[in-house]
Copies of this chain bind each other. A is one copy, B any other.
Amino acid sequence: MLGGSISSGILRCFPSIKVIGYAHRQSTRVKAAELAIASEIVDSLTDSVRKSDIIILATPISIFKDIFEQISPALPTGCVVTDVGSTKVMPHCWAQAKLPNTVHYVGSHPIAGAEFRGVDFARDDLLDKAVCILTTTKKTDPQAIEVLEKLWTRLGCSVRLMSPAEHDKIFANVSHLPHITAASLVNATNGGQINFAGKGFLDTTRVASSPANIWTDVLMSNSKNIADGLDRIIKELQKFKEATQNGNKKQIEKLLDKARNKRAGLIEYKIKQKEII
């Protein structure tokens, strides 16, 4: 879904750029070709990178390392390699270990997506008004950063730079943790009850419908930050439990009010940044 959306977005925004697509499954390649998601769909991973200036990985994170290893011999000198994975520390490590030093790696994380899976759901405007984080280290090539800044900006993103470690800490809280609470909410509700769910439950748990394999990799590759975040959220839940059990009305209202005000500030920020309307 994300790979296909980026590819069709590039075709729309950069009419002179050619996009070579590759997917592991043959059925995906056939569908992508039918949908004309890319300029060309090839049947070999190494062939897909052989003549490319920019290589974008949009697979589950756990196979980045293998892909880096497999594509290395075929990578053109000076090309830019990036990925759109939701964690960044591990991809930077693998890039450092596996990619030749004749190419430039920068991490990308466009904050866009949906709970849907597969090339059928690709849309060429998915990145419109999205934020895209680029992760860099002291060693990152400034020109490679510039190339990716131009790419993501033209696709509609506003680009921010940070270190991989900072990225993973922030997104444990604002992205990975919500996925875990959503899944936990669903798993904690028994079958007979769940059908009474209203719009609140459906929204609160939407991201629990995201592909399990992709999110398993995200959680696996950010375990320390996630464990810390889970401790914090369990602490917050326990505050509610204590206040409710003690009939402490003031404390319950204080906790709810704090969240309400904080979220109002967030919405205000998003509107000011034109990230939401």
**Interface on A for B, CB 8 Å cutoff?**
111-114, 130-131, 133, 169-171, 173-175, 177-191, 193-213, 215-216, 219-220, 223, 226-227, 229-241, 244-245, 247, 249, 252-253, 255-260, 262-267, 269-270, 276
Which residue of chain B is the closest to A183 with respect to CB atoms?
A: B259
CB distance from A203 to the nearest CB of B (A): 5
* Chain B residues positioned under 8 Å from A270 (CB to CB): 195, 197, 202
CB distance from A60 to the nearest CB of B (A): 11
Across-interface contacts of A204 in B (CB, < 8 A): 178, 181-182, 203-207
In the bound complex, residues from chain B placing their C-beta under 8 Å from that of A262 are 186-187, 189, 191, 194
A202, B276: Cβ atoms closer than 8 Å: yes
Q: Are B244 and A182 in contact (CB under 8 A)?
A: no
Docked-complex contact B223 and A253, CB < 8 angstroms: no
7 closest Cβ pairs, A-B complex: A183-B259, A184-B236, A212-B256, A111-B198, A178-B204, A186-B259, A188-B232
A195 touches which one: B189, B195, B266 (CB < 8 A)?
B266
Residue of B133, B178, B202 near A205 (CB, 8 A) is: B178
Question: Closest CB-CB distance, A3 to chain B, in whole Å?
Answer: 18
Contact: B213 with A253, CB < 8 Å? yes
Task: Decide: A194 near B174, CB < 8 A? Known: A181-B204, A227-B244.
Answer: yes
Instruction: Write out the residue numbers on chain B whose beta carbons fall within 8 Å of the beta carbon of A112.
Output: 198-199
Query: How many copies of the shown chain assemble into the complex?
Result: 2
Chain B hits for A247, CB < 8 A: 220, 223
State the CA gap A208–B265 with chains docked (Å).
12
Is B187 in contact with A173, judged by CB distance below 8 angstroms? no
The reply to whether A212 and B253 contact each other, CB–CB distance below 8 Å, is: yes
Closest to A235 in B: B188
Asked whether A187 lies within 8 Å of B259 as measured between CB atoms, the reply is yes
Residues in B with CB closer than 8 Å to A113 are 198-200
Chain B residues near A215 (CB, 8 Å)? Answer: 256
Chain B residues with Cβ below 8 Å from A216 are 249, 252-253, 256
Q: What residues of B have a CB within 8 angstroms of the CB of A193 in the complex?
A: 169-170, 173-174
Question: Is there an interface contact between B194 and A266, defined as CB atoms closer than 8 Å?
Answer: yes
- Are B212 and A257 in touch, CB under 8 angstroms? yes
Given known A-B contacts A206-B204, A219-B240, A263 and B196 have beta carbons under 8 A apart: no
Chain B residues whose C-beta falls within 8 Å of the C-beta of A236 in the assembled complex: 183-185, 187-188
Given A245-B223, A247-B220, A260 contacting B210 (CB threshold 8 A): yes
Instruction: Tell me whether B200 and A207 are in contact (CB under 8 A).
Output: yes
